[in-house]
Amino acid sequence: MPWTIRKLPGKPLYRVRNAETGRIAAKAATKENALAQLNYLNSLYHNESLHGGRNAIKLEEFPEVNATDKGLYCFLAYDKIDKHGQAVFKIGITSRSFSNRVEGYHTYHPMGVYMVFFLKNPSKNHDQKPVKKFYEEIEQYIFKQVEWYGAYRLVTTTRHRPTEYFYAQKKELDNAFDDAQKKYGGELIRNDVKSVNKEAVKLKKQPHYTAEIVYPIPKRYLSSR
């Protein structure tokens, strides 16, 4: 693995450095933090060697979206659509390049993710807000619409705050993103999710570590709507 850890002379602190490039990820971190970062960076490297890219975004089946595009996105972490026809989707914004946005995640998706929606270059910014503020407004609008159509917004069990993850049916997301395009403009690109379960089965046969996260979903959402 290219990332290494070294103790600083005379200090109880550690440096994390890429032995191949010389890049320093942590100049003076505690041992605990340095080891955590070391494991994370080496896991990214491991995934890059397996899939050809960190957090392996599956864009080859979403050719209209380039890694440098900006806008609002929705993806499904490779797993499966459950027996209720629903899954956990992540909605977010990128006011810079999409690839850089994904590289900034603290959540790691070892099997990559499946792109479902991308609202590209929304343009109806009547108040002339800065791009990031404008995109944040659209994001909040989509959050509201997805919940209005019946999706459940996941809440963290640690900070007890709403997240950007929604337990939803695909049609609820279709409706919310359609509403956002009508209100804010832009090009709406969408993908089907019918092949996700088959893709997940194939990926899980590969000889590398994968994990599944179990989300606490209220019972009232565990039925067809």
Q: Are residues 21 and 130 in the same domain?
A: no
Q: Are residues 72 and 181 in the same domain?
A: yes
pLDDT band for position 45 (50/70/90)? low
pLDDT band for position 150 (50/70/90)? very high
DSSP secondary structure letters along 190-203: E---TTHHHHHHHH
Identify the burial level of 27 via C-beta atoms within 10 angstroms of its C-beta, where 0-12 means exposed, 13-18 middle and 19 or more buried: exposed
The average pLDDT across 187-212 equals 69
Domain holding 46, by residue range, is 3-51
Query: How many domains are there within the chain?
Result: 2
Look at residue 173 in the predicted model and tell me its pLDDT: 95
Angle of the 170-184 helix axis to the 131-148 helix axis, nearest 10: 140
Q: How far is CA 149 from the centre of its chain?
A: 22
What does the DSSP 8-state code read for residue 55? T
The average pLDDT across 182-186 equals 93
Q: Are residues 32 and 138 in the same domain?
A: no
Q: Are residues 39 and 66 in the same domain?
A: no
> Is the pLDDT assigned to residue 55 strictly greater than 60?
no
pLDDT band for position 71 (50/70/90)? confident
Q: Are residues 140 and 41 in the same domain?
A: no
> Is the pLDDT assigned to residue 104 strictly greater than 80?
no
Contacts of 216 by beta carbon, 8 Å cutoff, 6+ apart: 157
Q: How high is the mean pLDDT of the chain?
A: 76
Would you state the structure tokens that stand for residue 175, as one six-digit string? Answer: 């409706």
Q: How far apart are CA 57 and CA 55, in angstroms?
A: 6
Look at residue 219 in the predicted model and tell me its pLDDT: 72
Q: Are residues 165 and 92 in the same domain?
A: yes
Looking at per-residue pLDDT, the higher value among 188 and 53 belongs to 188
The average pLDDT across 122-149 equals 91
pLDDT band for position 76 (50/70/90)? confident
Look at residue 103 in the predicted model and tell me its pLDDT: 52
Q: Are residues 153 and 199 in the same domain?
A: yes
Q: Are residues 13 and 116 in the same domain?
A: no
- Which stretches of 151-195 are DSSP H helices? 170-184
Look at residue 97 in the predicted model and tell me its pLDDT: 57
Q: Are residues 46 and 79 in the same domain?
A: no
